[in-house]
Structure 1
Amino acid sequence: MAVKILIPNSLQKYTNNQAILEYTIDTVNELIRNIETDFPEIRNHLTDDNGKLHRFLNFYVNNDDIRFLDNRETKLKDGDEVSIISAIAGG
């Protein structure tokens, strides 16, 4: 069993139109590295030039925001679900 990653519509064009990715990984940091390795065009849309996650993206592990866990060092286990949510602004 693996960790399931839900990709938002706005980023699916960089994952060959895949809405769900699966990896066997231990941390969110590994997840990001794997996605950026497998889909290099997504890199600039996930992280800035210093490797920091863009502030307009939110990562949730089983509905828990990683900012309130261990950020990129948040541990993952088989069966976890990671959602990448694009922040939406409007008025």
Structure 2
Amino acid sequence: MAVSVRVPTILRTYTSGESEVGAEGATLGEVIDDLETRYAGIRSRVLDDAGALRRFVNVYVGNDDVRFLDGLATPTADGVQISIIPAVAGG
């Protein structure tokens, strides 16, 4: 499935400054694999060494947080927008 991925400023060095890129995959995990093929190094910023979503990275498929869905197995329908959002801490 063809999807669009919104890329946060901090990861745009991997996408040549692009704020939104296209990717392919039937699940979020497949989309991240495709992103890695197109933009080497981006996967390690989204996934930890065990292959799970990093604790301080939020990912949405459409308007839904994948942590409350099926994580990396979350289906990605054709045309859906995926947003990668780094958590912000402060006080």
Q: TM-score, normalised by structure 2?
A: 0.90
Higher helix share: 1
Aligned to 1:9: 9
Unaligned runs of 5+ in 2: none
How many aligned residue pairs are there? 91
> Following superposition of structure 1 onto structure 2, how do residues 17-28 of structure 1 map, counting pairs within 5 Å?
17-28=17-28
Percent identity over the alignment? 44
Aligned to 1:45: 45
> Following superposition of structure 1 onto structure 2, how do residues 64-75 of structure 1 map, counting pairs within 5 Å?
64-75=64-75
Give deviations 1:40-59, integer Å, cap 9, x for gaps.
22232112222121111011
- CA RMSD in angstroms comes to 1.4
Question: Runs (4+) of structure 1 moved beyond 3 Å?
Answer: none
CA distance in 2, matches of 1:9, 1:85: 9
